[in-house]
Chain A
Amino acid sequence: MKIDQSQISSTRFMYTIAFFLQSSALLTAFLSSITEHDSWIPVLIGGVLCIPLILVYRSLMVNFPENTLLGMLDTVYGPVVGKILGVGYVWFFLTLSALNLTDLGDFTKITVLTETPSMILAIFCVLVVVWAVRHGVKVVTRYSALFTITEFFIVFISTLLLFDKIDLKNFLPMFQLEPIKYIHSTHIIATIPIGELVVLLMLTPSVKLSRKTATKCWFLGVGMGMITLLVVLMRDIAVLGNTMRMFALPGLVTMRLIHLGESLSRVEILFAVALMMLLFFKVAVLCYVSTIAIAQMFKTKKYKNLALIVGIFVVYYGTILYPNNVEHVVISQEMMPFFWGIFEIVIPILTLVIAKIRKLPKKQPEKQKQKQEVQHAWDGS
């Protein structure tokens, strides 16, 4: 069922993947408190280990080009189990939207608008998001390339400006922590930024991809995103060393250290603005996906009328997710990798395996072609 009729190019989809990962640069603190100065290692390992997962997402997209993720579940598991899993995914999308919106509100409050309540920031952000969602996937993803490149540029410039503060000894000693800590961090990387890409399977009918283009888009997009994350993390470790684990936003602290004489300081605002931009777009994509998913569950194409109420729901839902920020970090580090793994790793892999066993999707066009040929033969006779 195609709810939004608009289409996006494969290039735009690739940049959407990239910015989706880049926006997780805010969450490097999740890793730094576990693997400290070795946090770049799990990012590298996680990136390599997730190649099969990316192939699963790509294969689902290529095999079910006309279906969203919920459609794929319906086709593979049947209407009853498919709907039950669909409800789970709707909840997952809404929860991700609420978590990212809360992160955006809190981050904006800490860095730029310190006097403004987070709720007001979230509501204004959601109003813009709703406007974009109402205009379809084309508008939601329009500036993905621009913001991905801007983030690249900011990361590159900031690394150059911090060159005199980089101390490579901060990476030493390597591999001195317990193995479980590396496993833990790799699990976080696999589920929190990379696994979240499963939401992009909801965009499948809006992107026309051949097998070759799909592989290119997924791997280039993930590559760009992971390189940004890795560079940000390595820059922060090289500058802050082991003190990194003391900060909730190490990237912001690193950028605060940039001083070029008297003229150029307070550059952290660049990092703040870039991250707000990326998080805003992540929230926009997540709200779009949530709205489309709800519309699909109810089999309606009037998704535009649902956008505003979904947005407002996400704002209020964010207030009841966790009691405080400390618990948010603890839950995200300890429980989330297992919980999110169900939606991001287990179900997609199972879906692809069952689809292969059941030889799904059935090739409808060929059947129709045969029927048409038979019809023509009858007409001819």
Chain B
Amino acid sequence: MGWILTGFALIAVIDLVPLILQRRGRAIAAFLTVFVIALTIAVLPALGVQIPPVLTFFDKLFKSIGLSY
């Protein structure tokens, strides 16, 4: 868990801080969107929370409408 947070903090220092200093609003929004999702996906399993597999969800969805071999 500590390693994950340190890694993400390092990424923020490398890429987010220069964007903030340059006041690039759109780039900051793009960075933070990906950052928050990535951090969530990384931290939840470390906290013992199981994330349902994405493709299994679509597999069930497509099978339910009959689009599958």
Contacts and interface: CB of A to CB of B under 8 A. Distances in A.
B47 interface: no
- Overall SS of chain B's interface: helix
B31 A312 contact: no
Nearest to B32: A309
A332 B43 CA distance: 27
A34 B21 CA distance: 56
Given A95-B54, A184-B69, A335-B59, A306 B41 contact: no
Given A302-B19, A305-B19, A335-B62, A310 B34 contact: yes
A261 interface: no
Interface string B39-69: 0011001000001111110110011000111
B27 A298 contact: yes
A331 B58 CA distance: 9
A294 B55 CA distance: 21
A309 B11 contact: yes
Contacts, number: 103
Contact size range, A: 20 to 34
Interface residues of B, number: 36
Interface string A298-332: 11101001101110110011011111000110010
Nearest to A328: B55
Contacts of A313: 34, 37-38, 41
Contacts of B42: 312, 316
Given A331-B59, A334-B69, A320 B53 contact: yes
Contacts of B27: 295, 298, 300, 302, 305-306
Contacts of B63: 334-335
Interface of B: 7-8, 11, 14-16, 18-19, 22, 24, 26-27, 29-31, 33-35, 37-38, 41-42, 45, 51-56, 58-59, 62-63, 67-69
4 closest residue pairs by CB, A with B: A298-B30, A313-B38, A302-B27, A300-B27
